[in-house]
Amino acid sequence: MKKHNLYALVAAGLLASGMSVSSASAADLGGNCCADLEERIAELEATTARKGNRKVSLTVSGWVGQQVTFWDDGVESNTYVHDLGSTLGSHVKFTGSAQISPGWSAGYVLQLEAIGSDGLTTDQGTAGVLGNGPDGPGALTGVANSVQTLQSYWFIKSDQLGKVSVGKQSQASDNTAILVDGSGSLVPANWVAYDTNAFAVRGLGAGTMIWGGTQGCFGMGGAWGDCNGLTQNVVRYDSPTFGGFSISASWGEDDMWDVAGRYAGEWAGFKVAAAAAYNEVTDNRYNQGTLASLGGNPDMDYFQAGLFVMHVPTGLFGLVNYGDLDVDAANGAGAYDAQTWYGKIGLRSRLSALGHTVFYGEYLNGQDGAIDLQFLGTTGAYGVAGNGGSSELEVWGGGIVQEVDAAAMSVWVKYRHMSFDATGVDAGGGIGGATVGVSAEDFQYVGVGGLINF
């Protein structure tokens, strides 16, 4: 800001407070007036938040999102207010970059997530599998009402060669399949068990299973189609985009590696986005590899793919996601192959001056991915999948999303119905005894939520 502009602002403030300065008084101040004023302005500037230093820029962004959920598990019903779930919850992101030379830059990302009542760890409020209650901890920290570091990494980027990032961040395969969704309904409707992950499944007798375990990602973090879904300490490479195509790869300690490919473009009035990723995990922290029953670290592979197509003139769209999880233990214990399909169709249309309105219907089918978490970590039990049985999870629903452009906001109302059937489950809820078939109580809920960006 120029000096004369600053002086004008200060003078305006003095006048507004009712103070007057006569010409005689101004003359009495002498030559020190400007020096004193400049010193005071420098003090104020020193206490003001900047957009970074002279070399590195700073951008602050993020969103705040909450949802009210009315649920019925076949035995009990209730209403909760909760966050949207770790990795999708309210957060603030600090992003910086600096120009090194033409075509080269360096920067950083620091993303902090505020977790009050995490949708991923909210359950019926009983002493269930996770025992977190409606105000459960954040999935990453295990501490209620916490602020957790979701991402913290630095990067070096070349316009011609791509970007290398080092630190805690999304690996190349994190949410690859679902991020192609350009309908505007990605947050309320996807193949992740954000709202119901920790809720106990009713009707299993002595067994204890959560809805996230009905199509689990044993050893990889996540549930349903969101395998390997937590941020990790990795080295990641992202290529430049050529003709709409790009590739990514990452490696994480002890050990995880993955590779992903993406495409986005428009053809004859159709927007098309596609992505696929493959990753392998043998990390003790996630796969309970120290259990003797596994015969060492399991080798877990996950392949996922997603395709999104929207007819731009009409707003009609369709999304399909596919995931395949293959677990192979050294001694064959607990080995299984689970598959997840997710589809969504709908209409994105501008019906009012507020912004686009999105109508959608969704369906998820999960095969042979059930995991019994009651015994996990003590006996190495893997529920129906590891007991030679079979399982099926079905989720269907629909909703409406209203975008509010003037406030960078989205609000929605949605309905979901979930059902689970399995054979090969122990009558006692674990592995090693007589097996029985189960047909659990259905779970259904209505969610009313909103998200505002900043």
Q: CATH code at 422?
A: 2.40.160.10
| Confidence at residue 282, expressed as pLDDT on a 0 to 100 scale | 80
Nearest to 167 by CA among 230, 234, 112: 234
The distance of Cα 228 from the centroid of its chain, to the nearest Å, equals 12
Residue 445 is encoded by which pair of tokens? 């809920």
* 44 and 89 assigned to the same domain: no
Number of domains within the chain: 2
- DSSP lists the bridge partners of residue 162 as 158
Q: Determine contact, residues 427/206, Cβ cutoff 8 Å.
A: yes
> For the chain, how many residues are written?
454
* 174 and 43 assigned to the same domain: no
| Confidence at residue 116, expressed as pLDDT on a 0 to 100 scale | 79
| Confidence at residue 229, expressed as pLDDT on a 0 to 100 scale | 84
* 155 and 16 assigned to the same domain: no
* 306 and 169 assigned to the same domain: yes
Q: Determine contact, residues 370/213, Cβ cutoff 8 Å.
A: yes
Amino acid at 290: T
Give φ, ψ of 350 to 5 degrees. -95, 95
* 92 and 29 assigned to the same domain: no
Interior/surface letters 245-263, b for 16+ CB within 10 angstroms, e for the rest: ebbbbbebeeebbbbbbbb
Domain boundary (48, 65, 85) is at: 48
* 235 and 271 assigned to the same domain: yes
CA atoms within 13 A on the CB side of 427: 4
Pairing mode of beta strands 162-169, 316-328: unpaired
Give the span between the Cα atoms of 337 and 169, in whole angstroms.
28
* 398 and 429 assigned to the same domain: yes
* 121 and 158 assigned to the same domain: yes
CA geometry: angle at 301 spanning 390 and 251, to 5°?
Answer: 155
* 142 and 291 assigned to the same domain: yes
Residue 26 is encoded by which pair of tokens? 């101004």
Full residue range of the structural domain in which residue 32 is found: 1-48
Nearest to 383 by CA among 366, 395, 396: 366
| Helices (H), ranges, 189-304 | 284-287
Nearest to 193 by CA among 217, 159, 161, 169: 217
* 210 and 253 assigned to the same domain: yes
* 251 and 342 assigned to the same domain: yes
| Confidence at residue 326, expressed as pLDDT on a 0 to 100 scale | 87
pLDDT beneath 70, residues of the chain? 1-35, 37, 40-53, 126-145, 205-208, 219, 283-298, 329-336, 371-389, 424-439
Omega within 30 of 0 (cis) for the link into 255? yes
* 124 and 11 assigned to the same domain: no
Count CB neighbours of 414 within 10 A. 22
